[in-house]
Chains A and B, each alone.
Chain A
Amino acid sequence: MTGMREFINELYVRESRRVFSTLVRLLGDFDQAEEAMHEAFAAALEQWQQYGKPASPRAWLVSTARFKAIDAIRRRSQSERMQDAVVRRVDVLSSINAERAAHDIEDDRLRLVFTCCHPALSPEARVAMTLREVCGLTTEQIATAFLTTPTTIAQRIVRAKAKIRDAGIPYEVPSPADLPERVASVLAVVYLVFNEGYSASSGDTLTRADLSAEAIRLARLLVTLQTGPEIMGLLALMLLHESRRTARTTPEGDIILLEDQDRSRWSRALIEEGRQWIKRSMKSGTVNVYALQAAISATHAEAATSAATDWGQIVRLYDSLQAIAPSPVVELNRAVAVAMRDGPDAGLNLIDAILARGDLAGYHLLHAARADLHRRMERKPQAVEAYERALELAQQEPERRFLRKRLRELNERD
């Protein structure tokens, strides 16, 4: 019966996180849920091979895990009074809504996401909990992706679970009043996971690409759970970034600027999907930061060559972004777009105005942008000075290599 073993393995990959999230609700405890779920899958392997698989494998797993958990509580509880109370609670909880099982299970996944991304947990704990409990990654996998040790990640998860238990973080979809703050927290976690996998920093690039894929998978799950226009915007943004993954670095890991990328290597399928999500996001609600950033990315994606880019459109999108979420970084990006539309002089004036105000003086990308505009205007000394300032401030090795290369090219010019 190797067929059954394969079936159960596939079922585990497909269903285990769903079964788990329901069990967390029924049992009120992450560790008990995890243990009971594994016992249920082990029981399935034993019993289904003998008697055949049940009509609804998922319901069978949930109900078997529930009995396993009740057994474990009975075995372990010291006080009989407490034991009875827990068992009664589990019985009551799990018999409620038995008929609405499918709907509940989708809700359970959402409950799990909101609990793992609760703002009362530290941002690092939210990321670790989401990857471990929602995505089902092992602590070793998370540790490798974040260039840390499994012990660190395991401790982070243990502490987060203790806080969830002791501080009373609920396993619920938040009330409408809390929803904006809580959705923002979930999206920040998803985007952080994506960027960790996308940034050109050191580390095993394959593992880090997996992290981006995981973030996209999570966002796809969230859009099916209907959490509003922002998640659609974020999914679009990640798909559009992802469409350029292989084109944005050389095999050696050196940065290739957008204008120099081989556009035939951009994934048209991901771009198209991203554009669809932008449309749906813009249609379904108020304009949001993620959808606007995605729209900027899509404008680049639509241009057949760098020279054909619609910079006017990009400046307008940055104007909208600045209106709903003003920040010096948005202003800087807008200045670069203005330079492309109206010439380097116009952009440089805007950047110097940001600096004169005292903003972003320690931000390497501002100095890199200034350097590039001076370079375009053939002002070598100013360009060299700004590149050197950017190099002093840049942390990531691929960025430093890029800046050194530009400096070298400038110095070789005469």
Chain B
Amino acid sequence: MKYMMLVYTAEDAYVGGEREACVAESVALCHELASKGKYLAASPLHPVSTATTVRVRDGHRLTTDGPFAETTEQLGGYYIVDAANLDEAIAIAARIPGARKGTVEVRPVFELLGLPK
């Protein structure tokens, strides 16, 4: 079985050197998992202020600033893509079938050095 683990925290939850400590601990965990063959991928995300929301309704693409904030819709899947820029990422997001019924939130991945390959 593969599992996806979604990490929720308040953006101001880490103070002082806590963020650096969190990164170090996460990287160590990833290496431990990789040594047991259990690591697939992991990464922090840029803050929610960098989020863009994409929906497709009646064939029209709607792009808006900000995170997804609808309480009736639930996280149903994920894609990790390598795109040249946000425009390409938005174009891909609009092709995801879920964008026609629900919402796709596009968040840039924070490129963390030192994670297992």
Contact = CB atoms under 8 A, between A and B. Distances in A.
Interface of A: 118-122, 125, 159, 162-163, 166-170, 172, 174-175, 177-178, 181
Given A120-B63, A122-B65, A170 B90 contact: no
A170 B85 contact: yes
Nearest to B64: A119
B112 interface: no
A170 B86 contact: yes
Interface stretch (B6-14, B15-23, B44-52, B71-79): B44-52
A166 B61 contact: no
Nearest to B108: A167
Contacts of B84: 170
B41 interface: no
B46 A167 contact: yes
Contacts of A122: 65-66
Interface in B54-89: 61, 63-66, 83-87, 89
Given A125-B65, A162-B50, A167 B87 contact: no
A177 B52 CA distance: 19
Given A174-B87, A178-B91, A166 B65 contact: no
Nearest to A124: B65
Contacts of A172: 85, 87
A123 to B, nearest CB: 8
A125 B66 CA distance: 12
A122 B53 CA distance: 11
Given A162-B50, A166-B108, A175-B87, A181 B61 contact: yes
B86 A120 contact: yes
B113 to A, nearest CB: 12
A168 B108 contact: yes
